[in-house]
Structure 1
Amino acid sequence: MTSNLIKPETCEQLLDTFYAKLRTTQVKKLVFSGVGNRDVYNITAPFNYGGEEVLLGRVEERSSEFSQVFFFTCEHEVWSPRIHTHTYNLQDPCVTMINGELIVGGVEVITAPDQPEVIVSWVTQFYRGRDIDSLCHFSSGPGTMKDIRLIELADGRIGVFTRPQGIRGGRGQIGFTIIRSLEELNEQTFAEADLLKDQFVPEEWGGANEAHLLSNGHVGVLGHIACMDNQAHKHYYSMAFSLNPQTLETTPIKIIATRGDFPVGPGKRPELKDVIFSGGLIRSGNGRAVLSVGVSDAEAYQIEIPDPFIEYELN
């Protein structure tokens, strides 16, 4: 594990390192039906539930930010809404398992009281249950905080990733804390999470999108790092690093995928052309992994890449 005495690198520096390494990839666009003309993007990685493959996706009209989260199942390479399953008025879903329970999160947008078409804030909401059809709300994040992620650690406790902004977090830093049970996932937990040190330069930002328990007890973090150019266009890249949950030491961030890995396609808006959003990762056990991403806020893809977490388990 590398200590946090390393100066954070910019997106540009990380891209230089990324492009200097040869790698082979295999890319597949996901096909969806049953949602009308709406886009499906910012998907989770598929997971097995009751013998069927399931994923969650953000479903949204191209001209709107008001979305729903659907559970999808796959048949003949086409993903369709899971029958008789509740949908959620949320953005950017996430999913994990903790102590045998399914944990689903997503971002609820808050609108102005007198202008319901105007979004003024957002809140991450969490649901839990033993199965998809019995999920109940149990916790809400702080106002304007996205990218809250949970993971069951090796000792049974729960790691919590946060992403404060503003006075404490600037454009967006990653925080981490440990709780003993889901009942402790509350306002105090989010507020007191320690900031991981030296991950982003002040002009850039990032967040955790999914956490993986590694064989050595450390946590492999799948996330995004982002910057903005002088035309106010955003640039989002998939990244990874490892965290020692006991000491909060982290490895340097590395980019693992970019928009250029995927075919040219539509975008929600011109300033989102160079955006991919990490949704989830499935480690194949053969040195490879499949990364699920949202692309340009309009499409969903999977890409097979070298497993980004293997090197963290060798130390």
Structure 2
Amino acid sequence: MTRKAAQVETCKQLLDTFYANPRITKVEKLTFSGVGNRDVYNITAPFQYDGEEVLLGRVEERDSEFSQVFFFTCDNQVWSPRMHTHTYNLQDPCTTIIKGELIVGGVEVITAADNPGKIVSWVTQFYRGFHIDSLCHFSSGPGTMKDIRLIELMDGRIGIFTRPQGVKGGRGQIGFTIIDSLDELDEQTFIDAEMLGNQFVPEEWGGANEAHLLSNGHVGVLGHIACFDLSGNKHYYSMVFSIDPETCEKTPLKIIAARSDFPRGPGKRPDLEDVIFSGGLIRSGHGRAVLSVGVSDAEAYQIEIPDPFVEYES
């Protein structure tokens, strides 16, 4: 059964629980070629398409926020841009399958009219299609809303996770709503989603990064929880919870990975050193799972961990 959250725990409290329960992991850094000297990070989990393994990654210069999203395929443990495949001027890609269609999302940055080098806002864009080479744009999120995620539910309807900020969501909360068809997906759908609440203290924030349909019809959510320290540095951790889409009853958050799980390495900026981006999760079916992450906004890793969703299916 799904448990209601008794109280909201901070990053520190969740970390204390995480570190008190050591687990066996296997870590692998992903190697990329064909993108020059640019970094590849904030990857999706790999998925099978037309007989090959494919993932999406954010590609950009170390000193820039203007990125592209590439489709990559793997050969001899090296990931290279998929041949003759469109790239998108987006950040932080995500994917899902709805009624057999590939859905790809990413964040488009908006620049000042009088200064094309200054980012003033961002919009999540969505594309759909049955073939990677013929995806069509079909929906846009509200201005400044990232971390919008879609999932096909057990009854065929579509669950929508949102991330309101500002007056409604503070530094960032998670919202949820259900629609009957992708044709209903518009900006107002995202705006009207109800906040789940009781997940983050006001000084902290979080969002959904990927949704998984569980065997009992509930949805396992892979996401992040984040906070600032006193020096203004950001700290991002991978977390999960589950939700009953019918009642919105949800489990407490639990952290499943931290920057300390990975080797020391380069970072985009000093304030991003302790940041990991929850890109996607592949469940093995044997009590283990592989989590794909971006690390310090500069590198991409995969880490094998205990399957964090098993307990939600009992």
* TM-score normalized with structure 2 length: 0.99
Structure 2's unaligned 5+ residue stretches are none
Change in CA separation of 1:297 and 1:5 when aligned onto 2, cut-off 3 Å:
closer
RMSD: 0.6
Indicate conservation of the 8 Å contact 2:5/2:250, yes or no.
no
Write the distance in 2 (CA, Å) between the matches of 1:3 and 1:79: 40
Alpha-carbon shift at residue 22 of structure 1 (Å): 2.0
- Counterpart in 2 of 1:47? 47
**Residue 206 of structure 2 aligns with which residue?**
206
Contact persistence 1:222–1:239 (CA under 8 A): yes
Q: Deviations over 1:51-109 (max 9, x none)?
A: 10000000000000000000000000000000000000000000000001000000000
Q: Distance in 2 between matches of 1:2 and 1:53?
A: 34
Q: Distance in 2 between matches of 1:121 and 1:88?
A: 18
Amino acid at match of 2:166: G
1:80-91 matches, within 5 Å, as 80-91=80-91
Q: Structure 1 stretches (4+) deviating beyond 2 angstroms?
A: 1-5
- The residue aligned with 2:305 is 305
Alignment of 1:94-109 (within 5 A): 94-109=94-109
Equivalent residues of 1:158, 1:181 under 8 A apart: yes
Task: Please name the residue that 1:69 is paired with.
Answer: 69
The C-alpha deviation readout for 1:272-302, integer Å capped at 9, x for no partner, is 0000000000000110000000000000000
Cα distance between partner residues in 2 of 1:309 and 1:34: 35
After TM superposition, the structure 1 = structure 2 runs for residues 271-310 of structure 1, keeping only pairs within 5 Å, are 271-310=271-310
In structure 1, distance between residues paired with 2:309 and 2:275: 23
User: Match of 2:78, as an amino acid?
Assistant: V
Is the CA contact 2:2–2:244 (under 8 Å) kept in the aligned structure 1? no
Contact 2:174 2:207 in 1 (8 A): yes
2:198 alignment partner AA:
D
Corresponding residue number in structure 1 for 2:233: 233
Task: Output the TM-score relative to the length of structure 1.
Answer: 0.99
Match of 2:216 in 1: 216
2:171 aligns with 171
Give per-residue Cα distances to partners, 1:84-139, cap 9 Å, x unaligned.
Answer: 00000000000000001000000000000010000000000000000100100000
Q: What is the CA distance between 1:197 and its match in structure 2?
A: 2.1
Whichever residue aligns with residue 164 of structure 1, its letter is P
- Counterpart of 2:186 in structure 1 is 186
The separation in 1 between residues aligned to 2:209 and 2:248, in whole angstroms, is: 18
Deviation of residue 191 (structure 1)? 1.2
Whole-angstrom distance in 2 between the partners of 1:52 and 1:201: 42
**Number of the residue aligned with 1:31:** 31
Q: Which residue of structure 2 aligns with residue 253 of structure 1?
A: 253
**In the alignment, is the contact (CA less than 8 A) between 1:96 and 1:103 conserved in 2?**
yes
Question: Shift of residue 3 of structure 1?
Answer: 4.5
> Which amino acid letter does the alignment assign opposite residue 253 of structure 2?
I
**1:148-167 equivalence runs, <5 A:** 148-167=148-167
Once residues 170 and 186 of structure 1 are traced to their aligned partners in structure 2, the CA distance between those partners, rounded to angstroms, is 23
Secondary structure of the residue that 1:23 maps to in structure 2? coil
Instruction: Supply the AA of the counterpart residue of 1:27.
Output: V
Percent identical: 80
| Number of residues of Structure 1 aligned to a counterpart in Structure 2 | 314
The unaligned stretches of length 5 or more in structure 1 are none
Q: Distance in 2 between matches of 1:124 and 1:312?
A: 29
Q: In structure 2, give the amino acid aligned to 1:233.
A: N
Quick one: structure 1 residues 6 and 81, their matched pair in 2 at CA, closer, same or farther if it must change by over 3 Å? Answer: same
Shift of 1:242: 0.3
